[in-house]
């Protein structure tokens, strides 16, 4: 888990930022009381199910390249929290019986196993809606920037991003995919929201077009590597370590990087993407350190 590069301490960076994000989510998601207690409880159940907060933390790390002020995060926490809401909504819907039909996620029963399918559908809808609401209320940054962030989130969560990836994934069931087809799925299903995370942080931070471009490429490469590692872990890890059913891809005869390229080649590809990703953000020097460490952490993780 612990990775160190130069003086930057990733472990404490993660811990501190996870706390920030959890506090923000606690504030943004209504309490489970009153007439709507159940839906708010269902939203909270999946949001607080032990996620690593990777997307919000990537967002914060990207923001800090352009804004060194560490104390006041009020302008970036809405965007960071919205990313976790969108990620969580997509997991809730993805786990539904009509989709991947997963009973466990992060070692806990999935949302529909606890609250029933109808509430799970609505809890996902509600998190997606709340994500946009929270961003639209961001203070201290101009409303033009707020709109830019909203557009970014909507675009990369929509049919040309996350949802498009789900569709490609559904279409792929029971088929043997080419490497390009597999890449297209992961670019949409995984890389798009990671790119959104990094871009939204940079946009709130006030980044220009040129650094945004580098960060977008960085996000693409980290996103792809993340997914390749996911595929590798599905083969190599136990269900206990993963917190979700291991070997599921093989059992479902799903095309994965290991099934298309073999394990050794898949590992090489993840390694290459990692190096290319890091190269993309070399230009930020010391300020890019958190983002660099996060990339290493994500790609070298064991679960």
User: Which residues sit at the interface with its own copies, rule CB under 8 A?
Assistant: 30, 35-36, 38-40, 43, 89, 93, 96, 98-99, 116-119, 121-122, 124-126, 128-130, 132-133, 136-137, 142-144, 146-147, 150-151, 153-155, 157-160, 163-164, 166-168, 170-171, 184
- Least Å distance, CB 235 to its own copies, is 25
Between 143 and 251, name the residue whose CB sits nearer to its own copies. Answer: 143
Between 192 and 229, name the residue whose CB sits nearer to its own copies. Answer: 192
- Least Å distance, CB 116 to its own copies, is 7
Contacts of 131 (CB under 8 A, 6+ apart): 81, 82, 83, 85, 86, 89, 153
Between 182 and 294, name the residue whose CB sits nearer to its own copies. Answer: 182
In angstroms, the CA 80 to CA 63 distance is 10
Which among 17, 129, 15, 26 has a CA at the least distance from the CA of 62? 17
- Least Å distance, CB 155 to its own copies, is 6
In terms of Cβ atoms closer than 10 Å to its own Cβ (0-12, 13-18, 19+), residue 186 is buried
Between 40 and 186, name the residue whose CB sits nearer to its own copies. Answer: 40
- Least Å distance, CB 119 to its own copies, is 7
Between 51 and 164, name the residue whose CB sits nearer to its own copies. Answer: 164
Which among 105, 96, 63 has a CA at the least distance from the CA of 81? 63
- Least Å distance, CB 5 to its own copies, is 36
In angstroms, the CA 83 to CA 52 distance is 12
Between 184 and 212, name the residue whose CB sits nearer to its own copies. Answer: 184
Between 93 and 254, name the residue whose CB sits nearer to its own copies. Answer: 93
Burial readout 128-146 (b: 16 or more C-beta within 10 A, e: otherwise): bebbbebbeebeebeeebb
In angstroms, the CA 240 to CA 237 distance is 8
Between 99 and 283, name the residue whose CB sits nearer to its own copies. Answer: 99
Q: Give the residue ranges of DSSP H helices in 67-208.
A: 77-95, 111-115, 117-136, 143-157, 162-172, 179-186, 192-205
> Alpha carbon of 269 to those of 2, 221, 222, 275: distances in Å?
23, 10, 12, 10
Which among 293, 287, 283 has a CA at the least distance from the CA of 66? 287
- Least Å distance, CB 286 to its own copies, is 34
- Least Å distance, CB 139 to its own copies, is 11
In angstroms, the CA 146 to CA 23 distance is 21
Between 114 and 184, name the residue whose CB sits nearer to its own copies. Answer: 184
Other CB atoms within a 10 A radius of the CB of residue 204 amount to 28
In angstroms, the CA 198 to CA 205 distance is 11
- Least Å distance, CB 95 to its own copies, is 11
- Least Å distance, CB 30 to its own copies, is 7
């Amino acid at each position: 888990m612990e990775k160190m590069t130069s003086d930057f301490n990733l472990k404490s960076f993660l811990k501190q930022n996870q706390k920030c994000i959890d506090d923000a989510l606690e504030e943004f998601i209504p309490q489970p009381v009153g007439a709507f207690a159940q839906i708010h409880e269902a939203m909270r159940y999946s949001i607080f199910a032990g996620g690593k907060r990777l997307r919000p933390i990537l967002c914060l790390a990207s923001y800090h390249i352009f804004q060194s002020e560490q104390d006041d995060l009020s302008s970036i926490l809405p965007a960071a929290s919205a990313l976790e809401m969108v990620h969580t909504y997509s997991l809730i819907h993805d786990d539904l019986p009509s989709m991947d039909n997963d009973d466990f996620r992060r070692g806990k029963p999935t949302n529909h196993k606890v609250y029933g399918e109808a509430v799970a559908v609505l809890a996902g809808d509600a998190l997606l809606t709340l994500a946009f609401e929270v961003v639209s209320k961001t203070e201290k940054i101009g409303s033009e920037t707020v709109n830019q962030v909203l557009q970014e989130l909507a675009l990369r969560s929509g049919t040309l991003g996350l949802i498009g990836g789900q569709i490609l994934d559904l279409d792929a069931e029971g088929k043997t995919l080419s490497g390009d087809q597999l890449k297209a799925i992961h670019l949409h299903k995984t890389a798009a929201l990671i790119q959104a995370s990094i871009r939204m942080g940079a946009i709130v931070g006030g980044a220009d077009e040129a650094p945004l471009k580098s960060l977008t490429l960085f996000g693409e490469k980290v996103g792809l590597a993340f997914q390749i590692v996911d595929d590798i872990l599905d083969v190599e890890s136990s269900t206990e370590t993963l917190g979700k059913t291991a070997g599921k891809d093989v059992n479902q005869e799903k095309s994965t990087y290991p099934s298309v390229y073999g394990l050794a080649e898949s590992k090489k590809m993840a390694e290459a993407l990692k190096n290319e990703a890091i190269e993309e953000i070399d230009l930020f020097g010391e300020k890019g350190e958190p983002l660099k460490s996060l990339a290493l952490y994500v790609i070298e993780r064991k679960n």
